[in-house]
């Protein structure tokens, strides 16, 4: 599907252009703006205009959401940027590194969920054939409510002593670039008029 792209010389986008190019519904853009994730200026006719670099902020938001990062966490991270600027490549590396430990923990929990759904999960139903062996008399219910075997701390690498928040030099961090590395501004602080 081809997206109508604004001309390269256009530095401000209408909400419709921003929606078309970012793939985000206008209502979602209004929501992001109400939460302070993006900002616009108003024309004399009271129409919204967004600077073109808002596309990168939206990309960071969408990638973070896809990774399961709550919008409140994304908002805090974007607010911490100097003067509320749009994240550059170095900023994105720091943000993604900060979220890496949470993602690894979430991955382990999802794997445990996937692998444990067919067996006794410690919910107290005692209806699966493994329940009488792995949770006799619903002993796991003494730990608390819910599916106790799925709610336990991760048993993988995190539980074996892997550091949860290891500082990593920027050069060592693989960068998942939200703008695909095609824009020179993704390579640093330089502004690309087409970005």
The 48-51 sheet, strands edge to edge: 12-13, 48-51, 41-42
Would you say the C-alpha torsion 132, 135, 139, 144 has a positive or negative sign? negative
SS3 state at 123: coil
Is residue 158 predicted with pLDDT exceeding 60?
Answer: no
User: pLDDT tens, 84-100?
Assistant: 677 888 887 887 787 88
- Pick from 25-34, 63-72, 75-84, 138-147: least confident: 75-84
* DSSP 8-state assignment for residue 113: H
- Which residue did the predictor score with more confidence, 134 or 45? 45
> Residues with Cβ < 8 Å from 112, sequence gap 6 or more?
150, 154, 155
User: pLDDT tens, 115-135?
Assistant: 767 778 888 888 888 888 888
Q: What is the pLDDT of residue 153?
A: 61
Q: What is the pTM of this model?
A: 0.56
């Amino acid at each position: 599907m081809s997206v109508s792209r604004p001309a390269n010389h256009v530095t401000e986008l209408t909400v419709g252009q921003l929606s078309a190019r970012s793939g985000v519904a206008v209502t979602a853009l209004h929501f992001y703006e109400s939460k302070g994730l993006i900002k616009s200026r108003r024309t004399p006719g009271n129409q919204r205009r967004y600077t073109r670099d808002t596309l990168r902020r939206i990309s960071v938001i969408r990638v973070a959401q896809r990774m399961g990062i709550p919008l409140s966490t994304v908002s805090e991270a974007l607010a911490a940027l100097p003067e509320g600027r749009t994240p550059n490549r170095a900023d994105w590396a720091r943000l993604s590194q900060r979220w890496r430990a949470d993602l690894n923990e979430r991955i382990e929990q999802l794997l445990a969920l996937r692998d444990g759904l067919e067996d006794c999960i410690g919910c107290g139903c005692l209806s699966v054939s493994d329940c009488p062996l792995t949770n006799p008399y619903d002993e796991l219910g003494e730990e608390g409510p819910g599916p106790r075997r799925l709610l336990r701390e991760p048993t993988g690498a995190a539980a074996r002593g892997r550091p949860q928040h290891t500082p990593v030099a920027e050069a060592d961090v693989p960068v998942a670039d939200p703008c695909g590395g095609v824009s020179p501004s993704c390579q640093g602080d330089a502004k690309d008029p087409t970005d």
